[in-house]
Structure 1
Amino acid sequence: MSELTKQRRSKRALKKVTETAEALRKMIDRTRPLEEQLDRIRALLDEQLGHDEYFVLVDESGYGVVHTNRLREGRVFADPVGLAAARTNEPLLQVYERDTGEVLIDASCPFWTEPGGRRFNLRMGRLMHRPYLQWVLASVAIAPAAVGLAASIAGAPPVLAALCAALAGLGLGAAWHRAIAAELRHWYSVARTVSSGQLQTEVKTTGKRNEFHQIAYEINKMILGIRTIIHELGKAAKTVHDVSVEQQMEMRRLSESFDEIAAAVETFREGAKQQTTAVEQAGDVIGQMVERVQLMRAAVERVVRQAGDTWSSAAEGIRLIEETKTNMDAMQRGIGEMTALIDKAANEAARVHEMIAAIRTIAKQTNLLALNASIEAARAGEAGRGFSIVAQEVRKLAEDTNAFAAEIFASLDAMTNALKEAVHAMQGSGRHVEKTKDSLWKTGETFTSFQGMFAQLNDLLQQNESYVNDITADGEQLGGLMEDVRTVAADFSNMVQETAAGLEQQTLALHQLAREADTLAAAARDLEKMIARFHS
């Protein structure tokens, strides 16, 4: 059959598919995917098909993206001819023995490559017929003339020659009529068999490649198409039946569910009314809470101010304690210095006491010497009288000195005792000052601790004040939200009522849909029964 590719009709087919591919390339928009332009491609291929068998646009895998025979569109042509046509990079002619028994010339050429790399080729099929009717007509016309001419040459009378020619024409015509009638009866029988539902039958077409017997191929293709349609329709009918049965069951469940939902919505409507009332009560409670929080905020602000004043007083107390501790330190140093001075004065008094004691000793000795001098002056008589007077004066001075020294000694003893008592008192004052300092240190530490606690308390109160402010703001915001919730609750209550009314209508519609589902299930069963009449 390789001679078929060398015929002029084959070459014209290759030229036609190349020109059609070029026309398609000019028509399509290269910026858009090919799948978005299939309708325009189908229209052009249908227009260009003419008397040829098919146009098919395939990708590299042989998948038929577009086919002029819509029953074959979407199939994968994985036979050797189909794969060679799908993968060729240049115009290609092949002999294609179709699964219907036909012999075609398959002309293919590259069409387009998408930006993503997917390649498409265009295929065209052209039937290659042998002469048949031409021979029938030629034989019916020429054979009688040839017989008459032969009879005339043989010397037969013209009437006999004409009779022979007529008999030859009638015989040949009867033979051709019988052959054509047999084919027609066979086609009629196949058509009757198909109409009775037996789709397994086909018209016998073995070795018959001509225009007359192309009708048989077309009948076979029609049977194949009906078989495919019935098969797909059977699958669709089964799917519809399964879906309708499932839908029927689901509609029943939904009807029951909608009835329950309707009852629940009615309960929900009553609950919505109660919820609206509860929201209003909650709004009132929140309003009271906000008022109390505002009172609490005022109280907290007062406590914060008092805590601040207390903290300031504690700081002032610490300052005064520090000042008092400084003064006590100065007092303690003054007491120490005074004690040292008193000790020094006591020491000096002791020295004066010793000096007075020495003076008394000297006065006693002077008095004794004056007494001796008076005695000696008395012995001397008148000559010692002046000396005696002097001696008496000296004695008297000595006695006076002794008496004065005694007084001074008594005063020094009193002063020494007083100084000792003063030293003891100063030492007691020092110890008291030391104790007072310890107490002040402890008091200062306590005040410092109080100040730290007041600082923490102040921080906590400020935090509480901040929290109270936040709570107040949140409460006010919550009050606004509750007002919104109250509005939403009212709207929601209205919506529930509207929903309940709409649900009643939906329930009625659902019951109607359930009845329609029953009707669909019955129609699907009838369709399955009708499809069961055909045997493919």
Structure 2
Amino acid sequence: MEKQAKTVSAWQYMGRTVILAGLGSQLIGIGVILGNGITGRAVLYNLVAIFVGGALLGAIIGGANFRRFVVPMKAIINHVAFIAQGDLTVRLKETNLRALGPLGKTLDGMVESWEEIIKQLDVLAEEVSEASRELYQAADQNSQAAGEIAQVMQQVAGNTEFQMERTNVGVNAMQEVAQAVSGITGTALAVAGTSAKAAQDAQQGEVTIREAVSQMGLIDQVATDTISLVKLLGERSQEIGRILEIITDIASQTNLLALNAAIEAARAGENGRGFAVVAEEVRKLAEQSEQSAKMISELVEEIQAGAGRSMEAMSGFGAEVNNGRKLVEEAGGIFARILVSSQEVAEQLQGIKNTSEDVMGQVKEMAASMEKLRDLTNETSGEVQQAAGAAEEQLGFIEEVSSAAGSLSEVAERLKQSVKMFKI
């Protein structure tokens, strides 16, 4: 080693030791002088003598200690400096270390242990470097393989999802077909029921039509009888009108006679007063009779007018009744044809219902098969997704291993560089 370690020189060490020994002896001398009661010049002499003696003793002891400890320490410091610079080949000579021989032996043992450790670290670093390179290569190959596997699994997962979507579409379509067939069957049943009800209603309608025709005949007869009665009422009203005319004439004549009687009673004076009262009463009765006759005449005229209108209405009603009877008879024929058609439709609908039920059974079987296929595809898709996820996780793990292998290789290289710093 070019540069030597610096330590304290012998003169510096001796000077410090002599000064410390002299001062210590002076303190002891002062204690002795004070203890013995020495005074005068004897104090100075004693102090000088004690100082010189202490200094000589310190120089002797310091020189011995310098040779025993300081000189060997220089060799130890130099040795530690070599170790600090990585040189583990230097050894201390225990015979030259005097009192520090055990320390030198311990340092040599420590250096030998370090040397062995460094050798092992060198071998280990080489092995780790080689292993990390192999691991990196294997991880790289596995990463490529895992990437291909993950890609294939993703494609398989995509195909499985597409197949599951198509299967779902098929299942939905079969369900819609099943619903449609079920709706057709239900509609056929409903129409069959409605057709049967229509046939029953048509049959009942035919009966009702026959009853209506019979009833229309009765209504026609009643209308004819009513017309006859109305005609008779008109004739009786005319007769009542003629009678009322006679009554009105009689009332008018009675009124004139009462006026004449009142005039004659007035001419008779007192003798004709009672007759005048009777004539006045007769006149009033005649007027009331005439008014009543007029009122009855008006009522009879209204009855005649109503009878005339009734005659016209009943004549029209009779014609309408005849037309209605013809229409009802035609409706009866239509109902008969409807009854026949309803029976034919009911038979056809029964055949449609049977066919729809057969188709419905087949559609249900196909729908159940499609649902099983969908469930199986769904399970397969889940397993493929899990496998794809596992492949991706494995790829990530391999990438982590590859990264760790790279880091380990770098650490091994740094360790080798660190080991190279030591000289063994």
Higher helix proportion: 2
Q: Which has the larger radius of gyration?
A: 2
Higher strand proportion: 1
Higher RCO (CA < 8 A, seq sep 6+): 2
TM-score (norm 2): 0.42
TM-score (norm 1): 0.34
